[in-house]
Structure 1
Amino acid sequence: MNQYQTLLYYCYTTIENAEEFAADHLEFCKSIGLTGRIIVADEGLNGTVSGTAEACKTYMDTVLADLRFAATEFKIDDVSEPSFVKMHCRYKPEIVHSGLRDPNIIDPKKRTGVHLEPLEFLEMKDRDDVVILDVRSNYEHNLGRFKNAVTLDIDNFRDFPSKINELAQYKDKKILTYCTGGIKCEKASALLLHEGFTEVYQLHGGIIKYGKEAGGKDFEGKCYVFDNRVAVDVNTVNPVVVSTCRNCGKTTAKMINCANPECNEHFTQCDDCGWAMDGCCSEECKEHPRKRPYDGTGYYVKVPQQLNLNKIGRKEFISDLRPAALY
């Protein structure tokens, strides 16, 4: 029986003194034994946390009791062990980085696409006048995506605005956006509306909620998640694997970080190539002097590494685990 849970959630809301809130929230999370990663900004809260069922209940009850976060919806997964090693809660300019901070253009609290519940999305997605749009990054949709979805060549969500012109051909269609948990769609759909798309919808709760409430039908592959699990199964109706090994092309759902920390690329690699390449994406990375030992998982706990010393003698660091925005 699983005794731990992992919670995925976000809430767009105004947070006064957000930096101070982030520091206090970190201490609260630690005090109840949670691990995870939370982003706090003036515009709201975005997190994935993990801990015992009791700790998770305490956390949810406390968050929901705060009127600012009363509308927060938690996606709950039962897990066999905590999905993180440490607890991080940091203040950032946005809870999902879009590079668009003008509230006259993007303000999910005021205007977004029409929210579709999973069963509504399921009923609507195959219509002739509909286009399904994946607003996630390459490494996410390469691992799994909805059947017939339009995907964009972006490494980070902040690249999404630059792709709007590529979507102009769909302006006469109903656009159904989706992402992991819903947070990126809030800004993506708002931007599409600002750019003149008239019928924009978004999958409420994202892929994770769709898997729980609609069986994940027609989501092909696995869903990338931003914790130690890396990928989770979504489709219990008609599952298939769509991702392939970067090195040999064989079908595989296994995603890893390159063992060379200076590359650290997310990519799919089968077990045979994993061992043959020592968990690296290329021969160049395999020969790199800082290559980390490969244990078959391709997951590496964050270990700060000194990068250089600038003119005033301050150390700068890089992380051994590729940073990524939640959801």
Structure 2
Amino acid sequence: MKKYQTLLYYCYSPIENAEEFAAEHLVFCKSLNLVGRIIVADEGLNGTVSGTVDACRQYMESIHADQRFAKTDFKIDDVEVPSFIKMHCRYKPEIVHSGLRDPGLINPNEETGVHLDPKDFLEMKDQEDVVILDVRSNYEHNLGRFKNAVTLDIENFRDFPSKINELAQYKDKKILTYCTGGIKCEKASALLLKEGFKNVYQLHGGIIKYGKDVQGKDFEGQCYVFDNRVAVDVNKVNPTVISTCRNCGNKTNKMINCANPECNEHFTQCDACGELLDGCCSTVCQSHPLRREYDGTGYYVKVPQPVNTNKRSLAGS
């Protein structure tokens, strides 16, 4: 039995004094020796945390004991080592940046797509009047996606609203949205409904829960995750590799960050090209004077940048 777990979760539930809550929650997480990344906003929580099995159990019990978050659905993975190095808990305006000038235009607590459990999603996804919509970013769906899914050319979820017009051709269809854990679909499906789409659904628990509940059938490639693992397997029924090395074109599931910190692009690269280019996306980045040492993983711990005391402040410029 593995000693550690990683918990992926979110909960749309109003939080009063959310900034204060974030500071207190960070102290609580550290008291359990958890590591991870949590975003706290007035609208709720969005987090991935990792620690011992006992610490994760205590954390989940604490979250569920708070009536505001009692409905939180945790996706639990057993892992060999913790999936993060440090613990961060930060306040932000939204737990997922919607890209809307007025984020209050949509409220997942009031209106969102019909939640489909993985079994129902599996049964519906191949019907003729259904469109499967991936609401994730390019680097995510390039690594893995559902067979026949419609994907969007977006760098971040905040770009999703600008793509609504492209989806108008599917207004007479049943739209089945999906993402990693479900959180983006809450806002994506709510926005689609606001824009006049009638039959909008979302995969409850996202790709991660789909992999656990129905063995990930027809999900092609791997699922990108926002921790040290970078990507996880989903499909245990008919797995395939769909992503290719950016440099040579050979198939590979390995995704890394460019070793040039000023680039730091997410991209897929095979081990052979990784060795040849020192983990860089190009020879230009390979020759960059700040290039980080490539250890084969393509994962780099963020190093705090020194404060330049000679630089004039905006107020004084």
Please indicate, yes or no, whether the TM-score normalized by the shorter chain is above 0.5: yes
1:198-228 superposed Cα distances (whole Å, 9 cap, x missing partner): 0000000000000000110000000000000
Q: Helix, strand or coil: the match of 2:105?
A: coil
- Does structure 1 conserve the Cα–Cα contact (< 8 Å) formed by 2:259 and 2:279? yes
Q: How many pairs align?
A: 314
Residue identity matched to 2:168: A
Q: Provide the C-alpha distance between the structure 1 equivalents of 2:314 and 2:261, rounded to a whole number of angstroms.
A: 23
For residues 36-75 of structure 1, what are the structure 2 equivalents within 5 Å?
Answer: 36-75=36-75
Q: Provide the C-alpha distance between the structure 1 equivalents of 2:69 and 2:165, rounded to a whole number of angstroms.
A: 35
How far 1:305 sits from its partner (Å)?
2.5
Per the alignment, residue 163 of structure 2 pairs with 163
1:108-155 superposed Cα distances (whole Å, 9 cap, x missing partner): 000000000000000000000000000000000000000000000000
Residue identity matched to 1:148: N
Per the alignment, residue 311 of structure 1 pairs with 312
Q: Helix, strand or coil: the match of 2:256?
A: strand
Per the alignment, residue 301 of structure 2 pairs with 301
Residue identity (%):
79
Per the alignment, residue 324 of structure 1 pairs with none
The worse-fitting range, judged by mean Cα deviation, of 295-304 and 264-273 is 295-304
Residue identity matched to 1:226: F
For residues 29-108 of structure 1, what are the structure 2 equivalents within 5 Å?
Answer: 29-100=29-100, 102=102, 105-108=105-108
- Does structure 1 conserve the Cα–Cα contact (< 8 Å) formed by 2:99 and 2:160? no
Gap regions ≥5 residues in structure 1: 315-327
How far 1:103 sits from its partner (Å)?
6.0
How far 1:102 sits from its partner (Å)?
3.6
Residue identity matched to 1:69: F
Gap regions ≥5 residues in structure 2: none
Residue identity matched to 1:159: D
Q: Helix, strand or coil: the match of 1:176?
A: strand
Q: Helix, strand or coil: the match of 1:201?
A: strand
Per the alignment, residue 15 of structure 2 pairs with 15
- Does structure 2 conserve the Cα–Cα contact (< 8 Å) formed by 1:100 and 1:106? no
Q: Provide the C-alpha distance between the structure 1 equivalents of 2:191 and 2:307, rounded to a whole number of angstroms.
A: 37
Q: Provide the C-alpha distance between the structure 1 equivalents of 2:48 and 2:112, rounded to a whole number of angstroms.
A: 23
Q: Provide the C-alpha distance between the structure 2 equivalents of 1:18 and 1:46, rounded to a whole number of angstroms.
A: 13
How far 1:281 sits from its partner (Å)?
0.4
Q: Which runs of 4+ in 1 moved over 3 A?
A: 101-104, 306-310
- Does structure 1 conserve the Cα–Cα contact (< 8 Å) formed by 2:257 and 2:265? yes
Per the alignment, residue 285 of structure 1 pairs with 285
1:65-104 superposed Cα distances (whole Å, 9 cap, x missing partner): 0001001000000001100000000000000111236465
Q: Kindly report the root-mean-square deviation, in angstroms, between the aligned alpha carbons of the 2 structures.
A: 1.3
For residues 136-147 of structure 1, what are the structure 2 equivalents within 5 Å?
Answer: 136-147=136-147
What TM-score, normalized by structure 1, do the two folds share? Answer: 0.94
What TM-score, normalized by structure 2, do the two folds share? Answer: 0.97
Per the alignment, residue 196 of structure 2 pairs with 196
Residue identity matched to 2:220: E
Q: Helix, strand or coil: the match of 2:54?
A: helix
Q: Provide the C-alpha distance between the structure 2 equivalents of 1:165 and 1:310, rounded to a whole number of angstroms.
A: 44
1:267-315 superposed Cα distances (whole Å, 9 cap, x missing partner): 000000000010000111001000000011100011122486642299x
